Every structure is written in C-alpha cells, then in structure tokens.
Amino acid sequence: MESEGDPKTLPDALHRIRELEEQLDKALFDAGNLRLQMDMFSVTDTLTGLRNMNGVITALERAAVRSRRSGEGFALMAVDIPALRQIQAEYGRPGFDDAIRHAGALISACLRRLDTVGRMDDEGFHVVLPMLDAAGVEPVVERMSGLLGRMPLDFEGDGITLEPAFTVVLSNPHGSNDVQRLVRELATARDRQPAGRPLVIRSKAVVEEPHGTE
C-alpha cells in the first residue's frame, strides 16, 4: 500500500531525494552551529564575555607552541583589582558585576589582537602576552594602569577607581614552559606581589623587576 507523499514517478523520486538532501544539509549546518556555540561557551566567561580559565589555558598553550618554534618569549600576567572585594561588600552583586565587566573591557582595550584576557576569579584577570619579554611587558602595565586610573566606574553616582596590581611570569628560554607550571608559578607569585610595584619573575629562575619601577 502506498502512503500519502510516496513518489509515484522518477521526477517525484528525484524531487524527494533533493528535499531529503536539503534537510540533511540543514541538520548538519545546525549541528555545526551548535558545536561551535558549545565550543565558544566552554572557553567563555558568561559574566564578562572574556575567556574563562579553559580559554586562557588554550591561549597559553598556543603561545608556548609558538615560542618553541620561534624562540621568542611570552608572558602570563595576573591583573588583580583589589577594590572588587570592597565593591561587592558595599554595593552588592550588581555593583560587582558592573565593576568586573568595566575592568575587563578596559584591560582588553590595552591589548594587541594576538593577546588574550580572561577572568581569573572574583578579584582579577589573566592576560596571555605572546612574543613579549620583560621590556615588552612594561608598556602594557603602564597602559593598563593609566586607563584604569583615568576611567573610574560610575555606579549609582559614585566614581570608583579600579587600581590594578600586576604580577607577571615570563617564559624561560631554557625551560619547557609547561603551561600548568606557569599558572602555578603565577599563583605563587601573586601571594608575594609587593603593593604598588609590578612583580615580574622569570619562570624557574630569579626574580626580576621591569625597568622604570624603582
């Protein structure tokens, strides 16, 4: 027994085949878009729209691969905003959300296209800086300090300055530059970051201060 819609002639059959092919193409396109969205979601911080820790690690791995091929150094920076904790205590979650988005946008504005910024935690951000040494990191620190200082957050009529604190781990030209090791070294260095002074350390080597911070 024939059901309604069954092709009765060769042209009908060919037309039906084309319809099925179009449906399959659309399904594959939709599935591809879904995978892309899931991939983006897996590396994106939903509050700020910046990279999350997975996204930062991915960018750091790319920088390490590039460094091994080219011999050029790279850096991993922590940008802490100590005021965020106070903002959350005084203004609640709405104030904190506005503040961390504001800080993230200003930090992003100071970076090159090949750099990556991601939310680290409720107090700051990670920044991956490919193809930079200690001298190259210094102007990045200066740009961020200047922009964050010049553009305070306006929340409920209050102007809140988001003063940053910087800690940087530089890749080691003689080391493996394992990304997980670099992240751990940065976390350790954050704990001894001197107030008001950017701290730069060479991975698995001596502590260094960037030029001009004396």
pTM, 2 dp: 0.73
Which residues, at least 6 apart from 44, have a Cβ–Cβ distance to it below 8 Å? 50, 51, 52, 55
Give the model confidence (pLDDT) of 91-144 as tens digits: 899 889 999 999 999 999 999 999 999 998 888 999 999 999 888 998 999 999
Taking the C-alpha atoms of residue 192 and residue 146, their distance in angstroms, rounded to an integer, is: 23
Average pLDDT of every residue of the chain: 79
Taking the C-alpha atoms of residue 26 and residue 20, their distance in angstroms, rounded to an integer, is: 10
Taking the C-alpha atoms of residue 169 and residue 185, their distance in angstroms, rounded to an integer, is: 7
Give the model confidence (pLDDT) of 4-56 as tens digits: 555 567 777 676 667 767 776 666 666 555 454 445 556 689 889 899 999 99
Q: Which two tokens stand for residue 180?
A: 């997980």
CB hemisphere CA count around 155 (13 angstroms)? 21
